[in-house]
Amino acid sequence: MSSKLETAATVSERLLTNCSQIVTLSGPSRPRVGAEMRELSIVRDGAILMHFGRIVAVGPRSEVEPLASRDAEIVDAAGQVVTPGFVDGHTHLIFAGNRADEFELRCAGMTYQQISEQGGGIRSTVRKTRTATEGELVDTGRKHAQWFLRNGTTTVEAKSGYGLTLESELKILRAVRSVSEQTPLRCVPTFLGAHEVPEEYSSDYHYEGPSYVELIIREMLPAVAQQRLARYCDVFCEPKVFSVGMARQILTAAKALGLELRVHADQFTCSGAALLAAELGAKTADHLEQSDSVSIAALKAAGVQPVLLPGSVYAIGSQKYAPARAMIEAGLAVVLATDFNPGSSPTASMPMVMSLACTQMKMTPAEALTAATINAACSLDVQHDVGSLDVGKVADIVVHEAEDYREIPYWFGGQRPAVVLVGGERLAQ
Ligand code: NIG
Ligand code: FE
């Protein structure tokens, strides 16, 4: 993550107190599976002491308040519930424009895939993103960052994928880095050059040069790795987009360059994409709406974390959510994420995603909170800094307008946190 982890807070000592519940998510430094996903480790009537942006004590008020010096700035949680900042493990943070026009078409009955096959979808956002300057993308990215922060998300994974040329993919990844440097949002970058086959490479254009997969492997991946612009490589693995064979080539090349792997898998077809994620030892397989029991077993055997994106199922008007219960029962360390993007999931709200996870996938509120914090942090390998409220971690903390954590997914569609602290600094809401 960005160097701001080491940035000193402007006030050296802060005490957050009068918390009805502090949901610490404290525990081992690894993803939570099975029944562990329901163990939240809650402190009642608690307080948190922070020094220079890091947590130095968490516990009952009676134990923590005496540790604070007279100079400590007090933040009153007003008897409300406190959690770690949300970690959103799958976002397409940087893009130009929006697709409200396609939303209207879907409302009239067209499907997401039909719109895509007619030249809309990802390709329409690619056209707009290619012509945007880096500065314009940073400005839009900063606006999106505020949306995340206002909803209590303090860390996001951020993918490229709306450029699909060497220069425009690098432009997007540099914009991710700038947003991470210029806003309090912590961003973990992922290269997704294989998000869609660009128009100029589709057969309609009778293109005869090297294939797009070759361009990714020969030019894009080496540049991304050499400029250290991404930590992960992702592929949209779907029969009509990047087949399992193409995805295997790209992901194998990425791994050889030191990138870790994430895969958009089984979103529309159970095509072996999750099996590929397992075969290659990917960190995550994402979507998985169509995954079968064989795929779930393979993810478990390989230790791949499933990243479930119910916001995209909801927004494209599908009924088929990923089989979250089967995954939890199989012992998978489930992650929830927004899939924030202008097409299939235009939301930056983790509480909304948690609500969908509870009502549509039958996850419990405790499982949803684990999936939105510590499990997501593990999926991005940032669990030593964020994802739980443990001594030594950065003070990324949310005070919710609620007395009980179950209210977070219960009040849906617009509840905003009362206070968000990033690195111990209170954000203007
Ligand atoms: O995760 N399926 C591929 N990618 C995105 C959608 C991107 C878009 O529609 O612009 C997803 O759902
Ligand atoms: Fe996505």
- Report the distance separating Cα 347 and Cα 331, nearest Å: 28
- Name every residue whose Cβ is closer than 8 Å to that of residue 386 and which is 6 or more positions away in sequence: 84, 85, 87, 154, 155, 186, 377, 393, 394, 396
Q: What pLDDT is recorded for position 241?
A: 94
Q: What pLDDT is recorded for position 202?
A: 85
Residues having C-beta closer than 5 Å to ion ligand 2 = 339
Residue whose Cα lies nearest atom 8 of ligand 1: it is 343
Atom of ligand 1 nearest to the CA of 95: 10
Beta strands in 72-179 (DSSP E): 73-84, 86-88, 153-159
Atom of ligand 1 nearest to the CA of 121: 9
Atom of ligand 1 nearest to the CA of 162: 10
The answer on whether 384 is annotated among ligand-binding residues is no
Do 3-84+386-426 and 87-379 agree at the fold level? Answer: no
The reply to whether ligand 1 has any atom less than 6 angstroms from the CB of 312 is yes
Q: What pLDDT is recorded for position 208?
A: 65
Domain residue extents for the chain: 3-84+386-426, 87-379
The reply to whether ligand 1 has any atom less than 6 angstroms from the CB of 191 is no
Q: What is the mean pLDDT of each successive set of 10 residues along the chain, which is 429 residues long?
A: 56 95 95 97 98 98 97 97 98 98 97 93 98 98 98 98 98 98 98 96 70 97 98 97 97 98 98 98 98 98 98 97 98 98 98 98 98 98 98 98 97 93 93
The answer on whether 114 is annotated among ligand-binding residues is no
Write the DSSP symbol of residue 5: G
- Report the distance separating Cα 428 and Cα 421, nearest Å: 9
The reply to whether ligand 1 has any atom less than 6 angstroms from the CB of 160 is no
The answer on whether 381 is annotated among ligand-binding residues is no
CATH number for the region 3-84+386-426 comes to 2.30.40.10
Six token digits for residue 80:
């409300």
Which run of H or E residues covers position 50? Answer: strand 42-51
- Report the distance separating Cα 239 and Cα 272, nearest Å: 10
The answer on whether 400 is annotated among ligand-binding residues is no
Residue 283's SS3 state is: coil
* Superfamily covering domain 87-379: Metal-dependent hydrolases (3.20.20.140)
The reply to whether ligand 1 has any atom less than 6 angstroms from the CB of 343 is yes
Top mutation candidate among 157, 341, 345, 353 for ligand 1, by most atoms within 8 Å of CB = 341
- Report the distance separating Cα 310 and Cα 357, nearest Å: 6
The complex scores an ipTM of 0.98
Is the distance from CB of 380 to CB of 186 less than 8 angstroms?
A: no
Q: What pLDDT is recorded for position 198?
A: 95
Which run of H or E residues covers position 326? Answer: helix 324-329
The answer on whether 162 is annotated among ligand-binding residues is yes
Atom of ligand 1 nearest to the CA of 339: 1
The reply to whether ligand 1 has any atom less than 6 angstroms from the CB of 212 is no
Is the distance from CB of 357 to CB of 371 less than 8 angstroms?
A: yes
